[in-house]
Structure 1
Amino acid sequence: MTAGNNGASTPEDDDPFGYLYADGQANGAQPPSGGYGYPNSVNRVRPVGTRQYGAPGAGAPQAPQQQGVYGQPSAHYAAPETLPGGAPSAHASHGGGGGRGRGPNTKGLLIGAIAVVAAVVIGIGIAMIGGDDDDKGDNQADSTPTQSQDSGEPTPSASKGDEDGEKAELPTIDAKTLSLQGGAATASDIKGAKADGGVYVAGFNQVGAKVTWTVDGIKEAGTYRLYARYGIPGVDADATLVVNGKAATRPLNMKNFGGTPKDDWEKGWQTTWANVNLTEGTNTIEVACNEGNQCNANLDQFWITEETGS
């Protein structure tokens, strides 16, 4: 302030409303136009945020600027937790991570799901492999000797390897070379027999009739199939099978598998087979009409194959 009565003696005595009073007007108070109303009074009116505390270089600290827009952080603002000794953020993660809480561990969940799927697939694969093995075991053929019929006509010969690796013909026989007993005799008046000259064994339909085949040339002991071609008049028949003096527990089945007409001998030619156990070398096979057998049949050919042969 300059000497003279240009206003209050101290800034604290400045009255911004002095121009409203008589003593203020007497002292030259005027309505404010940038100051407090007294001439040459200190100009303290400034826009908010622009007042400087001290001149540049005076060493006084500069006040931080006010933020310009509500809700937007000031460029000069620093979070308390970033200052030395500042308080930790209330949102800090207890796990030591950033300010935000971590979400679910999706990577771990994905790995767990993949592991479960892999275990299920492996289990299914093992179950399927085991199921295939069980099926194979259930479908294996029964090795028990049985009698059945093949409506076709198997080739009357088969091969079995000998010691030199060569294939040897297994025995076959026609009716006219069989040994006949008990009223059995050869005939050729019914067509359809495949034996040499169309000759077959007739007269087999009586108890005591029997045909015998002496089988030579068996290279190896084991189970074989004995095939027999026979003719019936459309009616089932059977006979007793004896191998090396031992009767089979089941008869040689000569059923009407083909369903041929009754009393039609010419259309009644069919084929049956039975498993037989043969020894190495020579064996004797008999087909006999015994008590309890239905023997109304003609006999055409016999042949032997390996057990798995057709």
Structure 2
Amino acid sequence: MTPGENGPSTPEDDDPFGYLYADGQANGAQPPSGGYGYPGSVNRVRAVGQRQYGQQTQQTPQAPTAAYGQVPQQGAYGRPNAHYAAPETLPGGAQPPRQQQGRGSGGGGGRRGPNTKGLLIGAVAVVAAVVIGISVAMIGDKSDEKGDDTAGGSTPTAPRSSGPAPSPSSSVAADGELPKIDAKALLLGGGATTASDVKGAQAADGVYVNNFDKPGASVTWTVNGIPEDGKYSVYIGYSVPGKDGKATLTVNGTPSTTAVKLKNWAGAGDGDYEKGWTKTYNWLQLNKGTNTLKISCEQGDQCDAYLDQLWLVKGWVGSS
């Protein structure tokens, strides 16, 4: 070949794709063997799964192509395909995401449910508080009823007369002992006199008031030194001859609607004054300073009794 000459030329030499054209085919151009139509190309077609990551490539026989319309057999259901390896199974491959453990009971997944134990404790506490409140209210009602029974439904202007009560020493106010008087110091009226024939009287020298069973008979006590306005109780020592009696109490000129009950609390036999000594009390509303108490036998009263002492205590005894 000389300079300026390109030498003989054929279609296949000039154009590797000459065999695709009519003139190239007419001049004898032939498609190259192997590859994809490129001269000298190498066919590197591999079956799926033949290449494995991180390992040397191995040539395996190509799997037979399935017939048209059929799915290539991949092995039994649930079994891994021999030609496929998931990236996460290989060294350094991707790892499956971790499932966050739930906070629920027992380590299970999902969100934590409501605190039913706390709600139950709260409900029990509320019920207990309601029950305690009802119980306190019921106890208070019973105490009020008991106090009303003791008072007999009376008002401060309607003193109460009752049976044997605690001794004066156990009912004296904390600020000191209130006044006390014996029979011979009382102002007598209406034919009442004093005597000391019957034993058992607690007054000095065993003196008591007799002849009290006639209408109009009375004893009057002018009380000095009442520390303050308020509620008081007057105690009356007496004896009845085995039968009940009653008298009238007047406080500062106002007759009480509650009688002085002279009952046979001692259980004495008929006519036995000596064994009939006992005591009773009535409720009063007194003023600070001086007050006047009068016990009398009025029309309709049963006054067959001996009187030996009178004394005061602070408050209404037996009340709530």
Short-chain TM bin: 0.5 to 0.7
Report the CA distance between 1:259 and its aligned residue. 2.6
Measured at CA, do residues 307 and 75 of structure 1 come closer, stay the same or move farther in structure 2, by a change above 3 Å? farther
Aligned ranges for residues 228-239 of structure 1 at < 5 Å?
A: 228-239=236-247
Report the CA distance between 1:250 and its aligned residue. 0.9
1:216 is matched with which residue?
224
Q: Please say if 1:128 is aligned against 2:128.
A: no
- Whether contact under 8 Å (2:247, 2:301) holds in the other structure is yes
Return the match for 1:283 from 291, 298, 303.
291
Q: Please say if 1:147 is aligned against 2:152.
A: no
Report the CA distance between 1:209 and its aligned residue. 0.3
Q: Secondary structure at the match of 1:147?
A: coil
Q: Please say if 1:253 is aligned against 2:261.
A: yes
Structure-2 separation of matches of 1:150 and 1:77? 112
Report the CA distance between 1:280 and its aligned residue. 1.2
1:60 is matched with which residue?
59
| Cα-to-partner distance string for 1:38-84 (whole Å, 9 max, x where unaligned) | xxxxxxxxxxxxxxx9xx978413899xxxxx99967969798989x
| Cα-to-partner distance string for 1:206-250 (whole Å, 9 max, x where unaligned) | 101000001011121111000001000110011000011000011
Measured at CA, do residues 187 and 107 of structure 1 come closer, stay the same or move farther in structure 2, by a change above 3 Å? same
Measured at CA, do residues 232 and 58 of structure 1 come closer, stay the same or move farther in structure 2, by a change above 3 Å? closer
Report the CA distance between 1:128 and its aligned residue. 2.7
Farther off after superposition, 300-309 or 184-193: 300-309
Question: Percent sequence identity over matched residues?
Answer: 38
Measured at CA, do residues 236 and 78 of structure 1 come closer, stay the same or move farther in structure 2, by a change above 3 Å? farther
Q: Please say if 1:115 is aligned against 2:129.
A: no
Counterpart of 2:113, as a letter, is G
Structure-1 separation of matches of 2:192 and 2:224? 23
Structure-2 separation of matches of 1:208 and 1:174? 21
Report the CA distance between 1:276 and its aligned residue. 0.9
Report the CA distance between 1:299 and its aligned residue. 0.2
Structure-2 separation of matches of 1:173 and 1:192? 17
Q: Secondary structure at the match of 2:237?
A: strand
Structure-2 separation of matches of 1:187 and 1:276? 28
2:233 is matched with which residue?
225
Q: Secondary structure at the match of 1:290?
A: coil
Q: Secondary structure at the match of 1:149?
A: coil
Farther off after superposition, 113-122 or 194-203: 113-122
1:37 is matched with which residue?
none
- Whether contact under 8 Å (1:157, 1:171) holds in the other structure is no
Return the match for 1:172 from 180, 186, 199.
180
1:305 is matched with which residue?
313
1:241 is matched with which residue?
249
- Whether contact under 8 Å (1:191, 1:198) holds in the other structure is yes
| Cα-to-partner distance string for 1:61-112 (whole Å, 9 max, x where unaligned) | 3899xxxxx99967969798989xxxxxxxxxxx999xxxx98979626x2x
- Whether contact under 8 Å (1:230, 1:301) holds in the other structure is yes
Report the CA distance between 1:151 and its aligned residue. 5.7
Structure-1 separation of matches of 2:225 and 2:109? 83
Q: Please say if 1:204 is aligned against 2:243.
A: no
2:301 is matched with which residue?
293
Counterpart of 2:181, as a letter, is I
Aligned ranges for residues 83-98 of structure 1 at < 5 Å?
A: none
Structure-2 separation of matches of 1:205 and 1:124? 62
**What's the C-alpha RMSD, in Å, of the aligned pairs?**
3.8
Structure 2, unmatched stretches of 5+, are 1-49, 64-75, 90-98, 102-106
| Cα-to-partner distance string for 1:162-191 (whole Å, 9 max, x where unaligned) | xxxxx4x31100000001011110011111
TM-score (norm 2): 0.61
Q: Secondary structure at the match of 1:119?
A: helix
Aligned ranges for residues 179-198 of structure 1 at < 5 Å?
A: 179-198=187-206
Report the CA distance between 1:146 and its aligned residue. 2.1
